[in-house]
Amino acid sequence: MSNLKTNTAHAGDRPRVNIGTIWKELSSVIKIGIVNSNLITTFTGLWLALYFTGEGFLENLHIVFFTLFGAALVIAGSCSINNFIDRDIDQFMERTKTRPTVTGTIEPKRVLWLGVALVTVGTISLLMTTATAAVVGLIGMVTYVFLYTMWSKRNYTLNTVIGSISGAVPPVIGWTAVDPSFHVVPLILFLIMFIWQPPHFLALAMKRCEEYRAAGIPMLPVVHGFAMAKRQIIVWVACLLPLPFYLFSLGVPFLTVATLLNVGWLALGLYGFKMKDDLKWAKWMFIYSLNYLTILFVTMVIATLW
């Protein structure tokens, strides 16, 4: 009886695996927020492809699954590799200094191999739809990991523009998983996403300017100041104005919502030249950009249901 009690006590002393903590750290590594937001645009591209090609949604659930599963893994894998590469500079930024690759709770090499594995499985999943979708996914990964993370992010103020290529790929993955042939709709979706990102990330860079400066990242506000960043933001937002009209076949309600969103964002941007608190304005612009993207892409889907 004595031995039994001792062994039981020892067994109870073993550290328990905290599933919540593991999921929190894994979510940080794969940047779950980025994965989720990109899945919205991926699904929209896929949905519109089904709509314009006259294909049914329920009849193509297997394509929907392989597309969303594959895109999610490729994006998550790319973010994991990004975390591995950026672990030396993430320690200087408030929003990234608690990542597992910085704190050491997860071995960096494991994060790297996790990223490679996720990208590999994700690409195989996309191949179950079309080869074009898989290639587009890999283009996004290569752009994000090599052209943005390893090259431009640490050297040029144009890093935001270069990184926007990868961020504009998800809706194209969704479309090409259904229809690999050229169509103007995925091109416009790509352009909307590409142009949306610079004002979104420049506003973030203004908010986190001193953190980027400490990390040695040459973001536009760090190198050229807030005035230049604000002018750049206005130009990019203005470039969004004509794009919804290329999707006129989605109907007047969509064009109305999209135009109101664009005009509202431009008006808020111009108001920034009157505000004295640049950081407050940058916060407003950043929040608006997040809501803008969600509302715009959800509206595209809703417009096809009318």
pLDDT digits (tens, 9 = 90+) for 38-80: 999 999 999 999 999 999 999 999 999 999 999 999 999 999 9
Cα distance between residue 239 and residue 74, in whole Å:
29
pLDDT confidence of 3, banded at 50, 70, 90?
very low
Cα 224 → chain centroid: 25
pLDDT in the model for residue 295: 98
pLDDT in the model for residue 17: 54
Q: Which of 41, 21, 37, 40 is nearest to 29 (CA)?
A: 21
pLDDT of 25 over the 70 cut = yes
Decide: 123 and 133 in contact? Cβ < 8 Å. Answer: no
The answer for 107, left when phi > 0, alpha when psi is -120 to 50, beta otherwise, is: beta
pTM of the full structure:
0.91
**186 token code pair:** 């995925």
- For residues 189 and 23, the model is more confident at 189
Q: Which of 95, 88, 223, 219 is nearest to 153 (CA)?
A: 219
Cα distance between residue 222 and residue 79, in whole Å:
24
pLDDT in the model for residue 23: 82
pLDDT in the model for residue 296: 98
pLDDT in the model for residue 211: 94
pLDDT digits (tens, 9 = 90+) for 88-110: 999 988 888 888 999 888 999 99
pLDDT of 8 over the 80 cut = no
pLDDT digits (tens, 9 = 90+) for 210-239: 999 999 999 999 999 999 999 999 999 999
> How many helices and strands in the chain, by DSSP H and E?
15, 0
pLDDT of 12 over the 50 cut = no
pLDDT digits (tens, 9 = 90+) for 142-187: 999 999 999 999 999 999 999 999 999 999 999 999 999 999 999 9
pLDDT of 244 over the 60 cut = yes
Decide: 91 and 97 in contact? Cβ < 8 Å. Answer: yes
CA angle, 198 then 73 then 244, to 5°: 40
Task: Classify residue 21 by burial, with Cβ atoms within 10 Å: 0-12, 13-18, 19+.
Answer: exposed
Decide: 155 and 133 in contact? Cβ < 8 Å. Answer: no
pLDDT confidence of 303, banded at 50, 70, 90?
very high
Domains of the chain: 21-303 (1.10.600)
Cα distance between residue 125 and residue 128, in whole Å:
5
